[in-house]
Amino acid sequence: MAAVDTAVLADWISRFRDAVTEKREWLTELDSAIGDADHGANMARGMDAVMAKLEAGAPATADELLKTVGMTLVSSVGGASGPLYGTLFLRMGMTAGAVTELDPAQLGAALRAGLDGIVARGKAEAGDKTMFDAMAPAVDAFDASIAEGADLAVATAEAARAGEEGRDGTEPLVARKGRASYLGERSAGHLDPGAASTALLFDALAAAVADRTR
Ligand code: ADP
Ligand code: MG
- What is the residue with the minimal CA distance to atom 21 of ligand 1? 178
- The 10s digit of each residue's pLDDT in 149-208 is 999 999 999 999 999 999 999 999 999 999 999 999 999 999 999 999 999 999 999 999
What is the CATH architecture of 4-213?
Alpha Horseshoe (1.25)
- Is there an atom of ligand 1 within 6 Å of 39 CB? yes
- The 10s digit of each residue's pLDDT in 59-69 is 999 999 999 99
The whole-model pTM stands at 0.98
Torsion of CA 156, 161, 162, 163, to 10 degrees: 90
- Is there an atom of ligand 1 within 6 Å of 137 CB? no
Which residues are CB-contacts of 120 (< 8 A; sequence separation ≥ 6)? 87
- Is there an atom of ligand 1 within 6 Å of 35 CB? yes
